[in-house]
Amino acid sequence: MRIGQGFDVHAFESGGRLVLGGVLVPHSHSLKAHSDGDVLLHALCDALLGAAGLGDIGQHFPDTDETYRHADSRTLLRSVGEKLQARGFTLVNADMTLIAQSPRLAPYIAAMGETIAADLDAPVECINVKATTTEHLGFTGREEGIAALAVVLIDRQSRA
């Protein structure tokens, strides 16, 4: 068994589409990024790559590469999932935390879990997404952006 952790932050900008965990979340702001700015999927990709000893998302999908401009991060996640699968790794579980003062994310959490499970070809029970605020403290508290944490466990045996 191997564990991996991931962390990502993106700043808000006015307008645009806010996509978190592959789910469109209605909001006045979106996340500034080369890709679609899906901070949750980026943290998850880094955790998966880290667990497999495969470096990080920047090495696999460089933001200097025009291929990934406005990239749907679900495509990146599926690609990471395939890299792990090709090496015989199975996801045991993934636990993630979105850190955002706004918008309210509770209504979208279940859909994020289902989306991620589908993209990783994993049972939905293996995927846990949470959200918290920072009680108005720090950059997330000032609503300057969103942060995300992810931890995963993978193994090389077939799932029971």
Residues that bind Mg ion (CB under 5 A): 8, 42
Q: Which is nearer to Mg ion, 51 or 92 (CB)?
A: 51
Minimum distance, C-beta of residue 57 to Mg ion, in the bound complex (Å): 7
| CB of 101 closer than 8 Å to CB of 140 | yes
Shortest reach from residue 39's CB to Mg ion, in Å: 6
CA distances from 121 to 33, 67, 105, 126, 140 (A): 26, 24, 24, 10, 31
Residues 6+ apart with CB under 8 A from 75: none
Q: Which is nearer to Mg ion, 91 or 150 (CB)?
A: 150
When the beta carbons of 8 and 119 are compared against Mg ion, the nearer one is 8
- For residues 33 and 109, which CB has a smaller minimum distance to Mg ion in the complex? 33
> Distance between CA atoms of 38 and 32, rounded to whole angstroms?
10
Q: Which residue is nearest to Mg ion (CB)?
A: 42
User: Rounded to the nearest whole angstrom, what is the least distance from the CB of residue 160 to Mg ion in the complex?
Assistant: 33
- Could you tell me the smallest distance in angstroms from the CB atom of residue 147 to Mg ion? 10
Q: Is the dihedral of CA 57, 29, 13, 149 positive or negative?
A: negative
